[in-house]
Amino acid sequence: MQRDPAERRRVTRNILLALLTVVLIAAVLYIAVQLYAILHRTYRTETAIQATMSDSVKLTGAASFSATPVQGSGNLGYLVEDGERVTVGTAIAEYYTADGQDLLREELTNLDREISLLERSQNSTGSDLSVLTTQTRSALYNLLDQLDAGNYTAIRSAEEEFLLAQNRMQVSTGQSQGFASTIAELQAQRDAIAAQLGSLDTITASTNGYFVSAGSAGLTTLDAETADAADPSRLAEILSGDLSVSADGMAGWIVSGFTWRFYATCDLETAARFDGVTSVQISVPGKQDDPLDATVVSVESDEASGLAKVVIECGTINADVLTLGQEELQVDLETFTGIRISRSALHIVDGQNGVYVAVGNLQRFRKVTILYEDEDYILVPSDGALGTENEVRLYDEVIVVGTNLQDGSLM
């Protein structure tokens, strides 16, 4: 018995609908799998970059400076910056006896700075546009770097250098005929403010050295003679107390000489790491961030107490250094430069240290020679080449997370 045409059409339609549904489901599943693979990649890479790593120790102790106090109190306005070199007779600060004198002094200082900048702008060292362009670009990059780093103490000088380069460019290209009229106007304003400010009593330097204001100084009562004579136990006892210098009645201090010392105690294991080390770099994160060259003067161990005394000398004086007092000092015993790689990328294959890198859509095993390592990273030489003991090269995409890693396998 044959089915009527209407029923056959209905059956055919149902079959086609079922087939279409299967195709749609398969397409949706395929897309879902692809999206999952994209959004949940089983591989993660990091670009191999050049970096510097240090073998460091931390020492708790105190800085010692040869400092002369500068007496002064009241409403003071400082005429020199922290860390600035002064000589006998230099005006360090002035006394303000009336409201608004501090604002007049600030305005006068800013005008002096503007006048000096414009006068220097007219004394261009050359008219070579390529040189001027390079100077302008370098000054701009420096300013941007300081802004990015939040280095507010260096932003002003970086801004002045950029404006100086811009002004010289304008003079050399004829965009400006000079700044004589502007300088004259600013000079007139300066003279008027100076007359209004009048003559103020000042505090002058009684010796040569580097000035630091009472509000910025971190000087301690620890003197070098006492610290040098102390054994490890006695020094530890001294350092355990509060060595802060009172700033009452002080305008600041003048630090003489070019060197200062840091005295610390540590355990014998830490002291042993200084064996054979004389030149180091030191820093105090948050205060003196840029590592400074220093010398290990002595390491004195006391087996009975289990303590060692470490004396470090530094020949750099600046505003940041003069804020140091009782600190935790970071001492870089040795510094290494190379390509930094995450430790999670390190594998041992057939007894050989190496990492897997992404080359197109393939995994490739690259041997490495470790220069230095810590708990997070390894450092390898930056002159890597295929076929050598160190094959990782700068900007390789190193696989730091991945499963079933194997040389030559697809990603």
What is the percentage of the chain residues whose pLDDT exceeds 70? 92
pTM over 0.85: no
* pLDDT value at residue 4: 65
pLDDT band for 199, please (50, 70, 90 cuts): confident
Structure confidence by residue, pLDDT tens digits, 266-281: 999 999 999 999 999 9
**192, pLDDT greater than 60:** yes
What would the pLDDT profile of 212-243 be if each residue is shown by its tens digit? 999 999 899 999 999 999 999 999 999 999 99
Q: What gap in Å lies between CA 230 and CA 270, rounded to an integer?
A: 19
Report pLDDT for 339. Answer: 93
Q: How confident is the model at residue 34 (pLDDT cuts 50, 70, 90)?
A: low
The 10s digit of each residue's pLDDT in 360-409 is 888 899 999 999 998 899 999 999 898 899 999 999 999 988 878 888 88
* Residue the block writes with tokens 């089983």: 42
Sequence-distant (6+) residues with CB within 8 A of 230 are: 238, 309
Q: Which of 48-62, 166-180, 231-245 has the lowest mean pLDDT?
A: 166-180
Q: What is the mean pLDDT of residues 297-315?
A: 96
Question: Is residue 349's pLDDT more than 60?
Answer: yes
3-state secondary structure of 209: strand
206: left (phi over 0), alpha (psi -120 to 50) or beta: alpha
Is it the case that residue 198 has pLDDT exceeding 80?
no
Q: What is the 3-state secondary structure (H, E, C) of 100-167?
A: CHHHHHHHHHHHHHHHHHHHHHHCCCCCCHHHHHHHHHHHHHHHHHHHHHCCHHHHHHHHHHHHHHHH
Residue 99 makes CB contacts below 8 A (sequence gap 6+) with: none
**Does the structure show a pLDDT above 80 at 40?**
no
